[in-house]
Amino acid sequence: MELMNLNHPASHKCAFCKHWYDPMNQAIRPKAPIVGFWEYDPLAENQCMVRNMKTRGVQSCNQFVCKI
């Protein structure tokens, strides 16, 4: 698991995108959500609904929409 600050503008990782199919949010978990720190699994793979392909949680794209 890697730590990430969602309040940082460069934090557009697929694991936190609503287009990344992870309905139970198994690849992410809160560490200190009040200040924006979350952990995510960079090696987790799920389907991206925009690109229609499997992507890893560490990837990103310009269609990012935060699900948190």
pLDDT at residue 58, as a whole number: 93
pLDDT at residue 6, as a whole number: 87
pLDDT at residue 17, as a whole number: 93
- List, in order, residues 6 or more apart from 10 with CB less than 8 Å away: none
Sketch the domain layout of the chain as residue ranges: 2-56
pTM listed for this prediction:
0.87
Name residues of the chain where pLDDT drops below 50: none
CB-CB contact of 46 with 54 (8 Å): yes
pLDDT at residue 27, as a whole number: 94
pLDDT at residue 11, as a whole number: 82
Helices (H), the chain: none
